Structure 1
Amino acid sequence: MQIRTLSTLECTKLLTANRVGRLACAKEGQPYIVPFYYAHADNHLYAFSLPGKKITWMRANPLVSVQIEGHGDGRGWKSVIVNGRYEELPDRIGHKVQLDHAWSLLSRHNDWWEPGALKPETSSVAEHFPNVFFRIFIAEVSGREALAG
């Protein structure tokens, strides 16, 4: 196996080509990691969730990491790590453009709202479980590739 460092462009291509990653956050020294769906655009990863542990923790500590992987030939693989900052996109004046942009990017894919649990819509259920749209500002990106051979 040969390991090589990916260029920033190669990392960006892997982020764009994938939709599922692992989101890591921390609170009071305790790490927490979960899978999440995202859309990559303009140096951000856009995502959706219902309120819960990850949202609570990211509100308390907005510094996060994301890991994305791809599989190559044979035992080959690629992995990209994003270090960034959680930015919530609330449904209120001043954030409408960013919220609409997130919705537009995410809704290009079928079932984009899963694993957020409930499809965002106006209903009595949605009022009890407010949807949280957020983005991760990409402050730093790095990656590696393992080549079989």
Structure 2
Amino acid sequence: MMVRTLSALECTRLLTANRVGRLACAKNGRPYIVPLYYAHADNHLYVFSMPGKKIEWMRGNPLVSVQVDERGQGRGWRSVVVDGRYEELPDRVGHKRERDHAWSVLSKHADWWEPGALKPVTPPVSDSAPHVFFRILIDQVSGREASE
């Protein structure tokens, strides 16, 4: 088995080609990891979610990591880890452009809203909407690949 480091371009390609990762966040020194459906664009991972533990924890500590992987042939694999910062995109004045951009990036993919458990109305307009759009600003990315 050979393991090599992926270039920044290879890491970006893997993030763009995939939709599911694992989000790691922390609160009071405790880690929390959860699956995450995302879309990658312009040095961000865009996400739609319902309020809950991960949103609460990221609001308190915006530093997060996301891991995305692919299986290769045989025992091969590729994995990328993103270190970044949670940025909520609230449905308020001053955030419309970023929120609309998140909507457009996510909606290019079929059933992007299903992991959030509720399909929002196109486009979301209510201040009391229970769903949350957010993005993770990619500060650092690294990856590895194993092959036989």
Which category of TM-score, normalised to the shorter sequence, fits these structures? over 0.9
- Alignment of 1:78 with 2:73, yes or no, is no
Q: CA offsets per residue over residues 53-110 of structure 1, 9 Å max, x none?
A: 0000000000000000011111100000000000000011111011000000111111
Runs of 4+ in 1 over 3 A off after TM superposition: 126-129
**CA shift digits 1:112-131 (9 cap, x unpaired):** 01110111128xxx987611
Q: Which moved more, 1:80-89 or 1:67-76?
A: 67-76
Could you say if the C-alpha distance between residues 128 and 87 of structure 1 is closer, same or farther in structure 2, counting changes exceeding 3 Å?
A: closer
Partner of residue 48, structure 2:
48
Aligned residues: 145
- Cross-structure match for 2:115: 115
- 1:138: how far off? 0.2
Specify the alignment match of 1:4 in structure 2.
Answer: 4
TM-score normalised by structure 1 residue count: 0.94
Question: Distance in 2 between the 1:71 and 1:98 partners?
Answer: 33
- Per the TM alignment, residue 145 of structure 1 is displaced from its structure 2 partner at its CA by 0.3
Give aligned-pair identity as a percent: 74
* 1:22 and 2:13 aligned: no
| Letter of the structure 1 residue corresponding to residue 56 of structure 2 | T
User: Please, which runs of 5 or more residues in structure 2 have no aligned partner?
Assistant: none
Question: Secondary structure of 1:110's match?
Answer: coil
Question: Where in structure 1 are there 5+ consecutive unaligned residues?
Answer: none
1:68 is the counterpart of 2:68: yes
Q: Specify the code of the residue in structure 2 equivalent to 1:72.
A: G
Give the Cα separation in 1 of the matches to 2:129 and 2:93.
20
